[in-house]
Amino acid sequence: MLRGIKRLNRYEKRLLRIAKLGGKLVKINQAGFSRRTDEGFRFPIYSLEIGTKEGLEKHPVGITAGVHGLETIGIQILIDFLEYIISPKSTGFLPELKKGKLGLVVIPIVNPGGVAAKTRSNPGGVDLMRNSGIDAEKPLPFFGGQKFSNKLPYFRGHGLEPESRTLSRTVFEKFFHVQDSILPVLDLHSGFGTVDNVWWPYAYTHRPCTDTALYEKIASHFKDHCGHINFAYGPQSASYTTHGDLWDKFYDHYQDLYSEQGSWSSKFLPLTLEVGTWSDIKEEPMKLFSKKGIFRPAEHNKSEVLTRYRGFLRDFVRLGLTKPKDWTETQ
């Protein structure tokens, strides 16, 4: 675990540098704690709020990473992106953050205990993306989530874990009460497939979600107007179905709160960026025998991968500049 803790400390030091670089524009908070380890230790979970009070209250955009402790490439991509947009000298600097037109809410490492232990699950052996309690329709056997034992992968747990509750509380407090806004939240993962996927709800059913038409318009915007043509866009269930996806739970909770309120126009839009890291297995077949191998890119192009997503993430964040009516009046 020592190597994992050192890696976690390096990430946290970079987050502190980002907070220092951003000055008054960046606020770092302790949002919660991890599940307690066997040794009795609980890792803090940090969040960053980037932007002015007005931007964060009226136009928040969310990005999370590190839900699975083995998928650290997502954490690194996110930290690189934050450094890219925070520095005033950077070509990627987002002036809208300073002008109050956008606010960014970030949880860079949702599962610090998993990162430290170098495990997919949290310290309690629970896979957080199988933890929401939602039962899927025809999920993949075992991979889709299991309740047999926390000694086996994809354990669903017996209730929301501390990390899941921290994420749920943050999403509810920062996004659920914002009016007349597009509220996009992106969760970074890695390890599935040979191409990069951008998924929207649902993971538990093949039935289309309420905002499918809007998600399809956003996908067309990314491809046709932003040039992000190398991603596969669609609901997660088009790739596979699973129990317990947290974003399905949050999305449905939002729909339950506001679907019958005719005057409510905001749209809460969770998305997942799944970085496909299987494409270089032919070049580096030994990845298959490494604990983290299939969840990270080959070492020879790791630096390129870390910077490859800057443009996509920047365009994703800029979705927060739009209003719901902008999407009904176009395309």
The count of structural domains within the chain is 1
Residue 255 belongs to a domain with what CATH number? Answer: 3.40.630.10
Query: Is residue 277 pLDDT above 80, yes or no?
Result: no
325 phi and psi angles, rounded to 5 deg: -65, -25
> What percent of the chain is modeled with pLDDT above 90?
80
Model-level pTM? 0.93
pLDDT confidence band for 272 (50 / 70 / 90): very high
Looking at residue 195, its pLDDT comes to: 86
Looking at residue 45, its pLDDT comes to: 98
Higher pLDDT, 331 or 66: 66
**End-to-end alpha carbon distance in the chain:** 51
> If 0-12 CB within 10 Å is exposed, 13-18 middle and 19+ buried, where does residue 114 land?
buried
pLDDT in tens, 222-265: 999 999 999 999 999 999 999 999 999 999 999 999 988 878 89
Rounded Cα distance, 67 and 330, in Å: 35
pLDDT in tens, 88-103: 888 898 999 999 999 9
Looking at residue 141, its pLDDT comes to: 93
Per-position DSSP letters for 287-298, written without gaps between them: GGGSTTGGGS--
Quote the tokens at residue 253: 């909770």
What is the arithmetic mean of pLDDT over 110-120? 96
Rounded Cα distance, 319 and 214, in Å: 12
Looking at residue 306, its pLDDT comes to: 76
Q: Are 96 and 102 in contact (CB under 8 A)?
A: yes
Question: Which residues face 103 on adjacent strands?
Answer: 51, 60
Per-position DSSP letters for 201-228, written without gaps between them: S-SS-SSPPTTHHHHHHHHHIIIIIS--
Query: Is residue 34 pLDDT above 60, yes or no?
Result: yes
Rounded Cα distance, 294 and 313, in Å: 23
What is the arithmetic mean of pLDDT over 3-26? 92
Peptide bond connecting 202 to the previous residue in cis, omega within 30 degrees of 0: yes
Quote the tokens at residue 287: 């990845």
Query: Is residue 331 pLDDT above 50, yes or no?
Result: no
**Residues in contact with 48: Cβ distance below 8 Å, sequence separation at least 6, in sequence order:** 15, 18, 19, 26, 27, 28, 29, 82, 104, 105, 106, 107, 108
Looking at residue 14, its pLDDT comes to: 95
pLDDT confidence band for 87 (50 / 70 / 90): confident
Q: Which residues constitute the domain of residue 20? A: 1-327
pLDDT in tens, 171-228: 999 999 999 999 999 999 987 667 899 999 999 999 999 999 999 999 999 999 999 9
Buried b (16+ CB within 10 A) or exposed e, 39-74: eeeebebbbbbbbbeebbebbbbbbbbbbbbbbbbb
Q: Are 27 and 48 in contact (CB under 8 A)?
A: yes
